[in-house]
Amino acid sequence: MPVQLTTALRVVGTSLFALAVLGGILAAYVTGYQFIHTEKHYLSFGLYGAILGLHLLIQSLFAFLEHRRMRRAGQALKLPSRRRGSVALCIAAYQEDPDYLRKCLRSAQRISFPDLKVVMVVDGNRQEDAYMLDIFHEVLGGTEQAGFFVWRSNFHEAGEGETEASLREGMDRVRDVVRASTFSCIMQKWGGKREVMYTAFKALGDSVDYIQVCDSDTVLDPACTIEMLRVLEEDPQVGGVGGDVQPPAKGMAVEDDQVQAAQFRATEAWSVHQRHVSREQ
């Protein structure tokens, strides 16, 4: 069935369903029919409540089916291109809350995308930053697929005691660890988020087709990579795709910096074609 016809049928069906619900609610309100009620109507259940309950049940059912479809996308969805592009997920970390970092890395581990490369770059190489490397080893380490490197410098500023030769050696080491490992962690001299992203992009170079980025307090949906890659592969005019970034669950206390971080990440391109991010200036 053509995509346009399918979309039109969905729009018509959704509109008719909305009208039916609205009509049912209006009729229930006018008639005021009660299924169950106490003597003084302290507790009652009428036609109006029944229609609202049915509406909520149907919405929940379709939401569950859509969520299940997305989670199975890693196995069921086939990209339209002849060759599936390779993807690297780059995680920017800076003095992250340990619980948030664990949740982020575990969600990255659950992403339904074959051969996904995960690169975490820590903005800081001091002793007080070492706990993030420990968490990396706890969640993603322990196998031959994992690698790490603590760098005294970054690509734009040499660390204490670095010589030109050792700086070049460090750059090569960063690139080798990132390219050879499925999961890699680089700790480097503090330089800000842009410096962290530059390290990841520079080390990856042209070894992958797409780069996905997030902060270290982000919990990723298992289908996020393949869903965003599908959009990129379907239209060559699209150079970047943003994810649906949401703050913590409703009812939880949210600090101002968390809200600002969520708002900032909502404007980021989570998947960017390599030619836009790894080209040297």
- The answer to whether residue 266 is domain-embedded is no
CATH number of domain containing 205:
3.90.550.10
Q: What confidence tier does 34 reach under pLDDT thresholds 50, 70, 90?
A: low
> Is 197 in contact with 213 (CB distance < 8 Å)?
yes
Does residue 106 share a domain with residue 69?
Answer: no
**151-210 pLDDT tens trace:** 999 999 999 999 999 999 999 999 999 999 999 999 999 999 999 999 999 999 999 999
- Of 213, 235, 257, at which residue does a domain stop? 235
Asked if the structure places residue 252 within a domain, the reply is: no
- CA–CA distance from 260 to each of 115, 169, 257, 266 (Å)? 32, 37, 5, 10
The average confidence (pLDDT) of the chain is 80
What's the total number of domains in the chain? 2
Tell whether 106 and 227 lie within a shared domain: yes
pLDDT in tens, 110-141: 999 989 999 999 999 999 999 999 999 999 98
Could you tell me which of 237, 256, 235 has the C-alpha nearest to residue 247?
256
Give the closest residue to 96 by CA, choosing from 136, 138, 134, 132: 132
Contact 147, 184 (CB under 8 A): yes
Same domain, 91 and 69: no
Quick one: which of 205, 226, 215, 218 has its CA closest to 271? 226
Domain final position from 219, 235, 251: 235
Q: Are residues 138 and 115 in the same domain?
A: yes
Question: Has residue 247 been placed in a domain?
Answer: no
In terms of average pLDDT, the best of 6-10, 56-60, 68-72, 215-219 is 215-219
Residue 207 forms part of a structural domain: yes
> Which residue range is the domain that position 26 belongs to?
10-37+47-73
Domain co-membership, 180 together with 124: yes
In which band, very low, low, confident or very high, does the pLDDT at 274 lie, cut at 50, 70 and 90? very low
Q: Range with the lowest mean pLDDT among 7-21, 76-90, 166-180?
A: 76-90
User: In angstroms, rounded to a whole number, what is the distance separating the alpha carbons of residues 270 and 214?
Assistant: 7
Answer with the residue of higher pLDDT: 79 or 64. Answer: 64
* Contact present, 87 and 209 (Cβ < 8 Å): yes
Give the range among 30-39, 183-192, 210-219 with minimum mean pLDDT: 30-39
- In this predicted structure, what is the pLDDT of residue 40? 64
| Residue 273 counted as domain residue | no
- Of the listed ranges 6-15, 145-154, 186-195, the least confidently predicted one is 6-15
Q: Are residues 110 and 228 in the same domain?
A: yes
Question: For residue 238, what pLDDT is reported?
Answer: 86
Q: For residues 65 and 109, state if they share a domain.
A: no
Q: Is residue 262 part of a domain?
A: no
Give dist(CA 183, CA 53) in Å, integer: 46
60 and 101 together in one domain: no
Q: Are 61 and 46 in contact (CB under 8 A)?
A: no
191 within domain boundaries: yes
The verdict on residue 56 lying in a domain is yes
Mean pLDDT of 7-32: 75
Taking the C-alpha atoms of residue 70 and residue 74, their distance in angstroms, rounded to an integer, is: 8
Instruction: Judge if 108 and 63 occupy the same domain.
Output: no
Question: Do residues 230 and 135 share a domain?
Answer: yes
Same domain, 143 and 69: no
Tell whether 155 and 94 lie within a shared domain: yes
